Amino acid sequence: MKQPADIVIALEGISKSFGKVHANKDICLTIRKGTVKALLGENGAGKSTLMSILAGRLQPDSGSITVDGTPTHFSSAKEAIDVGIGMVYQHFKLVESMTVAENVFLGQEGGRMLKPRAMETRVRELANAYNLDIDPAATVADLSMGEKQRVEILKLLLRKSRILIFDEPTAVLTPQEGDELFKALSFMADQGKSIVFISHKLGEVMRVADEVAILRKGEIIEEKSISEVTSKDDLARMMVGKETFLSVVKNKVEGGELVLDVKGLDGNGLKGISLNLRRGEILGIVGVAGNGQKPLVETICGLQAPEKGEITILGKSWKSFFSRRKNQDTLSYIPEDRIGLATCPSMNLSDNFLLTTRKGFKRGPWLRRKRVESESQNVVDRFSVLPGHISAQARHLSGGNLQKLVLGREFFRNPGLIVAEQPTQGLDIATAKAIWDHLVTARESAGILLVTGDLNEAFSLSDRVAVMFEGEIVDLFEVTDMEKRGRIGLMMAGAA
């Protein structure tokens, strides 16, 4: 059957399994020239697997890929690149010590023969042609996350990629950088590029997409023009098969004793930070990424020592607390980096459960392995971690299921203080709702320091909110203070 001329890619009957897990089931999908197609689905719905197949990083168990009407098989990522398919990943693949131009030309044929000035000129011309503001001579280590993303886009454009896949592209961007990305995507589509846009942020999809395809449990269950979608709630309902609203019910909890007291914390990029947190309270820390949130979290959680100032954790000084930590009623840290810092990808779920709980399972020099397996399976069941068996390796879990495993493990320790860093970043609406509910429940017996770039999350969960800018807390207020909530954007930009 002849395809319409504007269809550049057609996937037919694509299926892929990992053991007993069916990641993709008989998927049919078309990508048209000059359009932005959004790919939506809950964590574990099969989006990343499908795009990895399209980008040549995985081979399907069955089905076919047609490019420009010709059946094609990709046995490697290079073969997909050769026909014009490129992917911008969440975690950028750049050499920090090299310049923008050197990164763009790295691995390109003929790149070694060009002099730095010639490379910079070519990258500048390409950046100007697609309205991508970047200095070709800048060192990548000195760039913001948004600028690094532009380098990744330029790498694809230099290869003449015509189908560009973006996997959660705004997860690491400020709102301003996100706006610039959306303009660039629209401009590239106007130039005839085909864009596949994977996102959990429904507002972004409504704003930038021309078409939307919904995956649920490995299958495409709906595909339509964005003009046929009435609202974000309509998209959410299609994703999860029911009405889903991201809201939370917070029961009133009486504030208990101080679990965290920070006074005059200075150094490591911080400037005179003072705050406190009581059991039964959620304190939200908000601000544009890179304004001191990371060193604050790392200092409180013991990853780096305070240079100046005092920190009291659960009634003990910082040094005393970290010299002999208890296994129960302790500090639990839920890091932003769930696949690198929070878990070990090559280990199974039972062993990942042990990473922070092993002290509670020791009997002399011996590990009580049967009890470990029983308790870790209970956590997997209680927190609905799929695929549901503790023998699965962490790298085979979706981001949402991995996050639920981390939460379950940390809550198992009955913490008195929880530090949750970007706990729902990159997660679908249903998983985010489940994590919100878990955090609100945990608040009944712990104090929670919530570090988030999502203002809706901060206002929905927090009792108080602190705004950070350039290493300082510029304001700290009750979440019910609507006047200050209205000015929070100015505070985050340092203008208030």
pLDDT tens for residues 25-49? 999 999 999 999 999 877 677 888 8
Mean pLDDT of the 421-433 span: 82
- Predicted local confidence at residue 299, as pLDDT: 96
Neighbouring residues of 434: CB distance < 8 A, sequence distance ≥ 6: 383, 384, 404
Distance CA 55, CA 220 (A): 18
- Predicted local confidence at residue 235, as pLDDT: 78
- Predicted local confidence at residue 311, as pLDDT: 97
Mean pLDDT of the 299-320 span: 95
- The pTM score is 0.62
CATH of domain 7-240: 3.40.50.300
Confidence of residue 428 (pLDDT cuts 50, 70, 90): confident
Task: Choose among 159, 217, 123, 277: nearest CA to 428.
Answer: 217
Long-range residue pairs from 363-372, CB within 8 A, at least 24 positions apart, any chain: none
Segment 116-128, tens digit of pLDDT:
888 999 999 999 9
- Predicted local confidence at residue 290, as pLDDT: 75
Residue 261 has pLDDT above 90, yes or no: yes
Helix (H), strand (E) at residue 71: strand 70-72
Confidence of residue 496 (pLDDT cuts 50, 70, 90): low
Distance CA 378, CA 171 (A): 31
Confidence of residue 5 (pLDDT cuts 50, 70, 90): low
* Burial (0-12, 13-18, 19+ Cβ within 10 Å), 346: exposed
Question: Cis (ω within 30 of 0) for the bond into 387?
Answer: yes
- Predicted local confidence at residue 244, as pLDDT: 47
pLDDT, the chain, mean:
88
Distance CA 320, CA 168 (A): 41
Instruction: Give me the percent of the chain exceeding a pLDDT of 90.
Output: 57
Give the relative orientation of helices 175-190 and 145-158 as an angle to the nearest 10 degrees.
Answer: 20
- Predicted local confidence at residue 1, as pLDDT: 40
CATH of domain 258-492: 3.40.50.300
Kindly report, as residue ranges, where domains of CATH 3.40.50.300 are found in the chain. Answer: 7-240, 258-492
Mean pLDDT of the 226-245 span: 72
